[in-house]
């Protein structure tokens, strides 16, 4: 039943308004790549010399970035299931869901979402665009038309890494193909497409680098964009010291959990353990 819910969500994600964004992303990516190979760039020079290593690797990185884009865009970010969605799950799944609510609720106030009326686990938030609560909600990304949450945050970070390699390499390749001309008008005419590719990859390089640094930092301290930006409005954080993060277990453990732990995490238990340990 859970897998049917996820498949329905992915099907809806594929064919709603985000389809236009994804189509635009793919077209823009491959047009830029085509411009780099049709002009006298380093990639074209290697191809003409018969040295296919760089062109093949670059094309593979671009293809991988597109595949990673669709993976992050279409996968389940960690949608909170309703009671009707969990009735057909296995015994192990039900046991896991029951363990999400700790027995000691003295320091944790459970709440129901004001939009979908589902019981929200700690660190979950309702996304008005996706119309569903998302576990360990980070943000809703309009470029992928999907939320970034507990299930796909690591894949989003991996996508940013691959995308940064692709756009920074494209930035260098586009500049390598710019040629000189006797007049400014001839220079712009001869290099117009390359200059467009250079400007596009330069903007994306800066944006992707900033996002990559931000999410690497958030992963290293076990925080999210929502928690970082809206700390004073979050029930389980607003009464704590501004520098205190109840989910921070140290750099190594945070990165290990972020990259290697799969499945649902009982953040309530971690929160209570930290609270009891601080007393």
Nearest to 124 by CA among 95, 145, 100: 100
Q: Within 13 Å of residue 25, how many CA atoms lie on the same side as its CB? A: 21
Q: Mapping DSSP to helix (H, G, I), strand (E, B) and coil, where does residue 139 land?
A: strand
Residue given tokens 């709440």 in the structure block: 111
| Catalytic residue numbers, as ranges | 141
**90 φ/ψ angles, rounded to the nearest 5 degrees:** -75, 170
> Other CB atoms closer than 10 Å to residue 167's CB: what's the count?
24
Nearest to 72 by CA among 135, 163, 2: 163
- Both tokens of residue 267? 């953040």
- Inter-axis angle of helices 153-176 and 184-221, nearest 10: 160
The separation between CA 187 and the C-alpha centre of its own chain, rounded to angstroms, equals 39
d(CA 66, CA 31) in angstroms, rounded, equals 13
Three-point CA angle 253, 257, 259, nearest 5°: 115
H-state helical runs in the chain: 2-15, 18-38, 42-49, 53-74, 83-86, 91-99, 153-176, 184-221, 225-229, 251-260, 267-278
Nearest to 69 by CA among 202, 135, 4, 166: 166
């Amino acid at each position: 039943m859970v897998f049917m819910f996820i498949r329905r969500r992915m099907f809806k994600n594929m064919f709603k308004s985000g389809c236009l964004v994804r189509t635009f992303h793919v077209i823009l990516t491959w047009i830029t790549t085509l411009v780099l190979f049709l002009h006298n760039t380093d990639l074209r020079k290697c191809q003409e010399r018969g040295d296919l290593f760089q062109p093949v690797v670059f094309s593979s990185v671009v293809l991988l970035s597109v595949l990673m884009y669709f993976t992050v865009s279409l996968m389940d970010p960690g949608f909170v299931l309703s009671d009707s969605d969990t009735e057909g799950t296995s015994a192990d799944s039900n046991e896991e869901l029951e363990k999400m609510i700790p027995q000691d609720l003295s320091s944790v106030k459970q709440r129901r979402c004001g939009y979908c009326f589902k019981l929200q686990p700690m660190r979950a938030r309702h996304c008005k665009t996706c119309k569903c609560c998302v576990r360990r909600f980070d943000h809703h990304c309009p470029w992928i038309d999907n939320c970034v949450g507990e299930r796909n945050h690591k894949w989003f970070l991996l996508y940013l890494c691959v995308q940064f390699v692709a756009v920074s390499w494209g930035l260098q390749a586009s500049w390598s193909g710019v040629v000189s001309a006797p007049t400014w008008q001839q220079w712009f005419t001869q290099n117009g497409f390359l200059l467009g590719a250079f400007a596009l990859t330069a903007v994306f390089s800066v944006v992707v680098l900033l996002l990559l640094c931000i999410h690497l930092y958030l992963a290293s301290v076990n925080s999210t964009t929502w928690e970082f930006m809206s700390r004073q409005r979050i029930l389980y954080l607003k009464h704590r010291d501004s520098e205190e993060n109840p989910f921070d277990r140290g750099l190594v453990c945070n990165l290990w959990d972020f990259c290697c732990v799969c499945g649902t995490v009982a953040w309530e238990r971690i929160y209570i353990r930290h609270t009891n340990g601080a007393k």
